[in-house]
């Protein structure tokens, strides 16, 4: 059994990790930390885990975490980078669900996150944990930068087009919408029911922290810098992301759906929908699936791709477990093969 620890087990991604890992056939949860809830039973805070997990939150202690095989960080940005070196030196694999290891340039990290990077040497080693593009590197990785939720939906939607040089990549547009859980569990006026319900709004139009992450990944795939306009929106739902992606085609292709289907034929967690099918966030709720539809309206030169995921699963905890499965040579679907919830 793999001994797993979670640092920061009280947020939405933390409890989603717990939900997935308690049902994982190869995992034993041994440490779950929270400074604010130390000593409290995990099941008392999250009653959905009653009869599934008999463990209490504890203070994050290196000696306890060093006994794990893998440690997940479901913490605010800037936490994992201060503990990663000690854990790696102890032989522990690290999977960070925050942004500490996503941006490869320490200067760009500081620009977007407002702090110096604590371990740039480890930053250079970290593998970006998107299995659909980095599976081989993930297999031998010691530390994984788990992708953000928006970057997951946007990258998977654009990927086949960028890989094949089919679109003009200096003016890509990503118009994305997320449920309120993407804002985290902390108290925030904008996340209150009366503020978010029956409303719809863009935010961070001048620059969202996920913009450089998406641009970095797509540029690496393209082999040169791409241009991207990324506009996120807050929608009055709890879970889910829909990314509407726009690109101008510069080289014709006979069948776009066939192109996508072939690219993702071996990817169990990417589902390319039949022609004319509209994706729905509810079709992926609670699952680790990304569903993609491809359109060419009026056979014009602008392609429209719609990509939907559950931001807490494929966009966070589920992808983290997928990375763990690959790192330890397990069945990739172990613990994350759940069917989506309907209604």
pTM here is: 0.96
Give catalytic status of residue 119 as yes or no.
Answer: no
Task: Specify the DSSP class assigned to residue 11.
Answer: S
The kind and range of the H/E element at 86 are helix 84-89
Tens digit of each residue's pLDDT (9 = 90 or more) over 26-47: 999 999 999 889 999 999 999 9
Long-range contacts of 165-170 (CB under 8 A, 24+ apart): 165/222, 165/250, 165/251, 166/249, 166/250, 166/251, 166/253, 166/259, 167/247, 167/248, 167/249, 167/250, 167/303, 168/247, 168/248, 168/249, 168/250, 169/218, 169/222, 169/226, 169/227, 169/247, 170/226, 170/227
For the chain, the distance separating the N- and C-terminal CA atoms, rounded to the nearest angstrom, is 35
Listed by start position, the domains of the chain span 2-125, 149-310
CATH homologous superfamily of domain 2-125?
NAD(P)-binding Rossmann-like Domain (3.40.50.720)
Q: So what's the architecture of 149-310 in CATH?
A: 2-Layer Sandwich (3.30)
Longest dimension (CA), the chain: 62
Q: What is the pLDDT of residues 84-94, one digit of tens each?
A: 999 999 999 99
**Residues 220-279 pLDDT 10s:** 999 999 999 999 999 999 999 999 999 999 988 889 999 999 999 999 999 999 999 999
pLDDT at site 85: 97
d(CA 152, CA 309): 8
- Which is the catalytic residue, given 68, 119, 149, 290? 149
Q: pLDDT tens for residues 56-99?
A: 999 999 999 999 999 999 999 999 999 999 999 999 999 999 99
């Amino acid at each position: 059994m793999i001994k797993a620890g979670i640092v920061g087990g009280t947020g939405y991604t933390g409890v989603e990790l717990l939900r997935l890992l308690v049902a994982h056939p190869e995992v034993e949860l041994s440490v779950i930390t929270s400074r604010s809830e130390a000593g409290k039973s995990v099941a008392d805070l999250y009653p959905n885990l009653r009869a599934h997990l008999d463990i209490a939150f504890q203070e994050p202690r290196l000696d306890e975490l060093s006994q794990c095989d893998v440690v997940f960080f479901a913490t605010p940005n800037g936490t994992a980078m201060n503990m990663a070196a000690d854990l790696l030196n102890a032989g522990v694999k690290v999977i960070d669900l925050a942004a500490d290891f996503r941006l490869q340039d320490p200067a760009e990290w500081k620009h977007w996150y407002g702090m110096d990077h604590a371990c740039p040497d480890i930053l250079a080693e970290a593998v970006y944990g998107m299995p659909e593009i980095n599976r081989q590197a993930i297999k031998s990785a010691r530390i994984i930068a788990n992708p953000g939720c928006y970057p997951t939906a946007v990258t998977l939607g654009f990927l086949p087009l960028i890989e094949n040089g089919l679109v003009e990549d200096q003016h890509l547009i990503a118009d994305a919408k997320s449920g309120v859980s993407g804002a985290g569990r902390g108290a925030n006026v904008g996340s209150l029911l009366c503020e978010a319900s029956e409303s719809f709004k863009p935010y961070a139009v001048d620059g969202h922290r996920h913009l450089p992450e998406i641009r970095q990944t797509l540029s690496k795939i393209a082999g040169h810098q791409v241009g991207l306009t990324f506009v996120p929106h807050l929608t009055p739902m709890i879970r889910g992301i829909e990314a509407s992606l726009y690109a101008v085609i510069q080289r014709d292709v006979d069948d776009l759906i066939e192109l996508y289907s072939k690219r993702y034929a071996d990817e169990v967690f990417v589902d390319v929908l039949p022609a004319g099918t509209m994706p729905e966030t509810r079709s992926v709720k609670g699952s680790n699936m990304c569903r993609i539809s491809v359109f060419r309206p009026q056979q014009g030169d602008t392609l429209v791709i719609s990509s939907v995921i559950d931001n807490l699963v494929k966009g966070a905890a589920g992808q983290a477990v997928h990375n763990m499965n690959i790192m330890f040579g397990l069945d990739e679907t172990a613990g994350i093969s759940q069917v989506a919830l309907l209604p």
